[in-house]
Chain A
Amino acid sequence: MNFKKKLSAGEFVVLAEMNTPKGVDISELVTNARRLKDRVDAVVIPDMDNGVMRMSALGGGALLRREGLETIAHIYGRDKNRMALQGDVLAAYVLGIPHLLAVPAEPMANGDHREAGTVDDLGEIDILKMIRSLCEGVDMAGFELKGAPELTVGCAMSPVADDSQLAQEVETLSRKVDAGAQYVVTSPVFDLEAYGRIVDALKPLRVPLVANVFLLKNVGMARYISIHDPGSRISEDMIRRIRKAPDREAECIRMAGEAAAELKNMVQGVKITTLGWEHRLPDILSSAGM
């Protein structure tokens, strides 16, 4: 059963995030992707993740499609105007990328091309509405398309630090769902109890939730996120667990696997993010029993 069918049938979906290379050497991407075949329902391909110039998500998606994997490409408005975005949506469909995920973009100031101009012609909600319109056969200027794409579209939830921010985010997500988002990928989960409250708050949206399982790779990373993103709720216990482990890397993998396994009882899917450790995705999946 493919990703779309599983999503609408209420079945659990497993997604893995894989970045494209900064260059044209695709060997690592292809090798890592092949190891995920039949183990994940789809591979999520970010576009210029963290504002770093890389091969486009469209290119990466088409490449992995050739390898027999279903792909979900990120789409956002920082770098392209409505003309280019619509062109990409049409291209994605014919290149075999039937799923898009509308995400917020990292500010240009935080990326590796800080001097670049930003576009920001369309925001996330505009993009979702634009995709829906293209799927209905009409572009943003009202012109009829010669053949309309059929796409599954998701949206992203921003991290929330407290209840008032959560209430605000639920409102934003509700507008995204109204604009056509069929599922929500939530922010990274480190505290399952707190996440339970988020899941409850998102229930009225009545769309599948996919939890982001974010691999903490070391103590420094865990500490950094816990300080700079108070909403992450990374506990001292978690940091201590990594620090005291005889094999810290293996412990990190185990922790991500445990989180994924537990989330199976809470939401309709997980997206595993490793930020450069894509070669460890199979180990995380094994640890999660997936």
Chain B
Amino acid sequence: MTLDKFLVVAAALFCCGLYTVMTRRNAVAVLMGVELILNAANINFVAFSHFLSRVMGGQIFAVFVIVLAAAEAAVALAIFLRLFATTGTVEVDTADQLKG
């Protein structure tokens, strides 16, 4: 259980999230990918904090990230509902009115 193992796990998690975000059409699935990325980042924070420093900053930061993720999920859900009510779908490709 050394630092680099945690980092490798976090990197794997991050790449899975990135892949999800890139390949999925469904907005909810994209959100899932984002959550994976956030978790990967959290693991990095806590791991660095645990192995490299005595202070609790990394954990505190992780707490705030979780809070933000919750808020983000709530707002995202509301946006999806509105999008669905407007266009009848949550495909990210269809919401391109702002395209130049």
Report whether chain A binds chain B.
no
